[in-house]
């Protein structure tokens, strides 16, 4: 374990964490960024047309620009590290990751959200063997094949719109009575000749040999098998907040913060999609990250650290 006590540790390097790091660097704090990846969900986005200053930019490009901005200040970054435990004892906050232990006087949790798993048989076994959580990345591998998209919201529709141009046939497995999502996207999906929408259906299992060759689905009155080579899970997102055990969360497991990004534990702040902030947007996450870093600066000054 490092004996050093940082002013601040930022957990996560998506829009919120990276923006917090820029502000922390400019306030000359002694800090560290610990993250599994860089860019967070923004890096997985397709086209971004609502981040002010860029009329059009792709997710990977924006993530690259964020990264350059962060590293311009020589920021200490621990990549490929996952936060496992966070606890405060006295005035010191301790973070345990899969690789090391760190200590700090303050923390900003900006660990974002991740794809929700379905929790069905075969899901883990066939992950990357035909089952994927990223249509943008892996979609092109399924050209001319039959695939299923699991989910019924905007992210599912987005995946269907991408896949119906590539795949032979797309099944949409939606467990509610109707698809939800933007009307424009919905109409395009409903009008596509190679898309079959199965409302009120849920997935029972994913099966195959070396790779996926089908799924079993059920409706209230029957169970059936669909022969597909690709399964795209778009069942929503869950916050990466489990490691912050003593931090207060809402029913969705989002970290509860006040208007200054303070959690229920003094010195532990949070920003972006992992929090209960209304609306999850790249620009909101970035703004929240800057606000959290300024709150940390005030907190450290007030406590004479």
Partner 1 sequence: MAKSVKVYSTSTCPWCIRVKQYLKDNNIEFQNLDVSIDQSAANEMMAKTGQMGVPVLDIGGEIIVGFDKERIKSALGL
The residues of the shown chain that bind partner 1, judged by CB under 8 A, are 37-39, 43-44, 46, 59-60, 63-64, 79-80, 128-130, 132, 134, 136-141, 143, 210-211
Shortest spacing between CB 100 and partner 1, in angstroms: 14
Nearest to 188 by CA among 163, 211, 206: 163
DSSP label at 12? -
Tokens describing residue 75: 């920021």
Q: Which is nearer to partner 1, 80 or 250 (CB)?
A: 80
Shortest spacing between CB 52 and partner 1, in angstroms: 22
Shortest spacing between CB 162 and partner 1, in angstroms: 9
Q: Which is nearer to partner 1, 94 or 145 (CB)?
A: 145
Q: Which is nearer to partner 1, 6 or 66 (CB)?
A: 66
Q: Which is nearer to partner 1, 140 or 266 (CB)?
A: 140
Which residue do the tokens 């997102």 mark? 237
d(CA 120, CA 227): 17
Q: Which is nearer to partner 1, 136 or 199 (CB)?
A: 136
Burial of 187 (0-12, 13-18, 19+ CB in 10 A): exposed
Q: Which is nearer to partner 1, 7 or 81 (CB)?
A: 81
Tokens describing residue 20: 């917090």
Query: How many C-beta atoms surround the C-beta of residue 157 within 10 A?
Result: 23
Give the end-to-end CA distance of the chain in Å, rounded to a whole number: 21
Shortest spacing between CB 96 and partner 1, in angstroms: 20
Burial of 26 (0-12, 13-18, 19+ CB in 10 A): exposed
d(CA 118, CA 152): 13
SS3 percent helix, strand, coil of the chain, rounded to 5, is: 25, 30, 40
Shortest spacing between CB 44 and partner 1, in angstroms: 6
Shortest spacing between CB 79 and partner 1, in angstroms: 7
Which residue do the tokens 């094949």 mark? 145
- Measured between alpha carbons, how far is residue 83 from residues 100, 243, 272, 274 in Å? 9, 6, 17, 14
Shortest spacing between CB 121 and partner 1, in angstroms: 19
Shortest spacing between CB 102 and partner 1, in angstroms: 19
Q: Which is nearer to partner 1, 77 or 268 (CB)?
A: 77
Three-point CA angle 175, 178, 180, nearest 5° = 95
Q: Which is nearer to partner 1, 166 or 256 (CB)?
A: 166
């Amino acid at each position: 374990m490092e004996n050093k006590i940082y002013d601040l540790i930022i957990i996560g390097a998506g829009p919120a964490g990276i923006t917090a790091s820029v502000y922390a660097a400019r306030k000359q704090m002694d800090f560290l960024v610990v993250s599994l990846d860089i860019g967070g969900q923004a890096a997985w986005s397709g086209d971004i047309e609502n981040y002010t200053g860029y009329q059009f930019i792709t997710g990977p490009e924006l993530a690259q620009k964020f990264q350059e901005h962060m590293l311009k200040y020589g920021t200490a970054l621990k990549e490929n590290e996952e936060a496992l435990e966070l606890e405060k004892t006295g005035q010191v906050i301790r973070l345990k990751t899969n690789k090391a232990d760190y200590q700090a006087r303050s923390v900003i949790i900006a660990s974002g959200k991740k794809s929700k798993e379905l929790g069905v048989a075969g899901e883990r076994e066939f992950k990357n063997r035909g089952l994927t959580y990223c249509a943008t990345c892996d979609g092109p591998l399924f050209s001319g094949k039959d695939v299923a998209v699991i989910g019924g919201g905007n992210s599912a529709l987005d995946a269907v719109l991408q896949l119906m141009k590539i795949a032979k046939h797309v099944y949409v497995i939606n467990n509610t009575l109707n698809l939800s999502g933007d009307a424009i996207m919905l109409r395009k999906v409903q009008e596509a000749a190679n898309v079959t929408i199965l409302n009120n259906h849920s997935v029972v299992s994913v099966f195959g040999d070396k790779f996926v060759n089908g799924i079993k689905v059920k409706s209230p009155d029957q169970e059936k098998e669909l022969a597909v080579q690709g399964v795209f899970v778009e069942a929503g997102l869950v916050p990466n907040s489990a490691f912050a055990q003593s931090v207060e969360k809402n029913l969705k497991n989002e970290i509860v913060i006040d208007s200054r990004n303070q959690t229920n534990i003094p010195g532990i702040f949070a920003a972006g999609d992992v929090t209960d902030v209304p609306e999850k947007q790249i620009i909101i996450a970035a703004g929240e990250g800057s606000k959290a870093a300024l709150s940390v600066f005030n907190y450290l000054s007030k406590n004479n650290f």
